[in-house]
Each structure stands twice: as C-alpha cells, then as structure tokens.
C-alpha cells in the first residue's frame, strides 16, 4: 500500500508533467528554428553562402564522416577540454582552499586575481605560443588562463560566504581549522562547487576553441578556422553545431554528477 498522500501524489504528477512540458518545449524550439531556417534558405530569403542551411550542414557532416577524419577532430577538442577542465578545477579548488585558510594571502592576492581574470586572454596568444610552443600544450594553457581564475574566485567566494554562525559554533567546540574546512566549509558548498564545475566546463571549451583558432592542425577550432579561410561556411557552421552538441553532453554529465552528489 502506498504511503504517499493524495496531495503528494498530485504534486509528483504535476512535477512530472511540468518536466515533460519543458522537455517538449525545448525540442519544439529547436525543430521550429531548423524548419524556418531550411524554408528560408530554400525560398531564397536566407543567403546560404553566408548562413548555410540545415540540409547543407547535414551533408557536410556526412562528408566529414566519409572522409574518416571527423572523430579525430572531435576527440582532439574533447581531450583538450577534459584535460584543461580537470586541471582548472583542481588548481581552482586548491588555491581557493589556501586563500580561505590564510586571510593574509587572500588579501594580498585578491586584486591580482581580479586583474588577471579581466585580462583579454586572446591578446596573450602570441606570448603563449612563444612561451609554451605551437602545440597542444599552448591550447591547454590558453584554456587554463580562461577558466582557472574564474574558478578560484567562485569557489573562494562560496567558502567565505559560509554561514558564520556555524563556523562560530564549531569554534566553541574547539574544532581545528582542518575540521571546520572538511566538516563544514566543503559540505556546505556542494551546490556552489557543482555550479563552478558547470561554469568551468563551458569556459574550458571556450578556451580550447580560442587556442585552436590560434594554433592547431586538428580539432573543431581548426575546422572553423580552415572553413573561414576557404569561405566554406558549411564547414564552419557544422563545426559550431558539433561544439554545441559536445557542450550539451558535457553539461548533462555534470548534471548527473550533481544528482549523485546531492543525494548523499
């Protein structure tokens, strides 16, 4: 026999219905957009030389598959993104923890973090190539520059925003600093840490593409650059669409991790 009340059952049913409405609406927006885009291209309202069309994008995708080099470009971009994401998340968490632990260091570093985060990283591209070399390392380094500082700032702000009443309570029980950090600060910031991962995965992907636009012979960023150089707008938009799909998949993986973590 069910232990749920009638009101609870109705609430769960409504919640499930709303979830389906959102999903169907999201899918409908994409389908309608693609239909209007295709119709506009076929009727001549849209210049396909400048904006392509869904059918031409699909044909380009099939052509890349037949040439047997699509998955290599996709893998290179995914690999570089995952490496930079992992490094930026780890470095961001470590430095944010150090700043929380030592207020003096935090006050010294704070203005520099703000300045470094606001610097236009693309302008540093030539320097990065000279320092690191025209290879994969420079792409990952570019992604780290873009994602690491914002990760540090977001995590640190979450740490120092933890309810001071709970911190004071733990001090009254003579809790050590590492105990406060491990038992209160980190657990209290689960949501914030997950949100930082969501931001970081997108920033890492942006950084990787910017790096590939500067120096690469593989990856989706390379396809975008090559397509623009030879005026192949179909290749450019196909690569952009693939980037959107990759970004969505990575975001959904973080969402799954969020559901697993927040259950405990």
What per-residue confidence (pLDDT) applies to 3?
A: 61
Structure tokens at 166: 């709970």
Distance CA 45, CA 51 (A): 11
Structure tokens at 231: 């005026």
The answer to whether 142 touches 207, Cβ cutoff 8 Å, is yes
Q: Output the pLDDT for position 264.
A: 60
* 97-108 pLDDT tens trace: 999 999 999 999
Phi (first) and psi of residue 29, to 5 degrees: -60, -45
**Cβ–Cβ < 8 Å for 231, 163:** no
Kindly give the interhelix angle for 233-263 and 190-214, rounded to the nearest 10 degrees: 160
pTM of the model: 0.85
- Give the residue carrying structure tokens 């790096």: 211
How many helices (H) does the chain have, and how many strands (E)?
A: 13, 0
The answer to whether 88 touches 142, Cβ cutoff 8 Å, is: no
DSSP 74: H
- The closest alpha carbon to 52, from 241, 245, 247, 213, belongs to 241
For the chain, give the percent of residues with pLDDT over 90: 41
pLDDT band at 86 (very low <50, low <70, confident <90, very high): very high
In the three-class reduction of DSSP (H, G, I as helix; E, B as strand; rest coil), residue 45 is classed as coil
Picking from 154, 144, 247, 243, the residue whose alpha carbon sits closest to that of residue 194 is 154
Judge contact between 212 and 220, C-beta under 8 A.
yes
193-237 tens-digit pLDDT? 999 999 999 999 999 998 888 888 888 999 999 998 888 899 999
Q: What is the pLDDT confidence band of residue 1, given thresholds at 50, 70 and 90?
A: very low
C-alpha to C-alpha distance for 242 and 133, rounded to whole angstroms? 27
């Amino acid at each position: 026999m069910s232990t749920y009340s009638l009101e609870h059952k109705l609430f769960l049913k409504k919640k499930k219905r709303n979830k389906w409405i959102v999903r169907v609406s999201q899918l409908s927006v994409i389908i309608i957009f693609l239909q209007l885009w295709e119709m506009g291209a076929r009727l001549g309202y849209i210049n396909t030389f400048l904006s392509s069309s869904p059918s031409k994008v699909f044909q380009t995708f099939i052509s890349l598959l037949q040439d047997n080099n699509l998955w290599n470009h996709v893998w290179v971009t995914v690999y570089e993104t995952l490496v930079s994401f992992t490094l930026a998340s780890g470095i961001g968490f470590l430095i944010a923890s150090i700043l929380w632990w030592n207020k003096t260091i935090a006050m010294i570093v704070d203005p520099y973090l703000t300045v470094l985060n606001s610097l236009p990283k693309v302008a540093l591209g030539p320097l990065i190539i000279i320092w690191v070399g025209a290879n994969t390392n420079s792409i990952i380094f570019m992604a780290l520059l873009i994602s690491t500082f914002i990760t540090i700032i977001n995590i640190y702000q979450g740490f120092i925003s933890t309810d001071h009443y709970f911190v004071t309570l733990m001090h009254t029980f003579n809790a050590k600093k590492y105990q406060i950090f491990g038992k209160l600060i980190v657990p209290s910031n689960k949501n914030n840490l997950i949100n930082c991962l969501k931001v970081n995965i997108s920033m890492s992907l942006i950084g990787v593409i910017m790096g590939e636009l500067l120096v690469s012979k593989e990856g989706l960023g390379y396809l975008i650059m090559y397509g623009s150089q030879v005026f192949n707008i179909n290749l450019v938009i196909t690569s952009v669409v693939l980037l959107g799909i990759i970004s969505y998949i990575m975001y959904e993986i973080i969402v799954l991790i969020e559901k697993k973590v927040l259950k405990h």
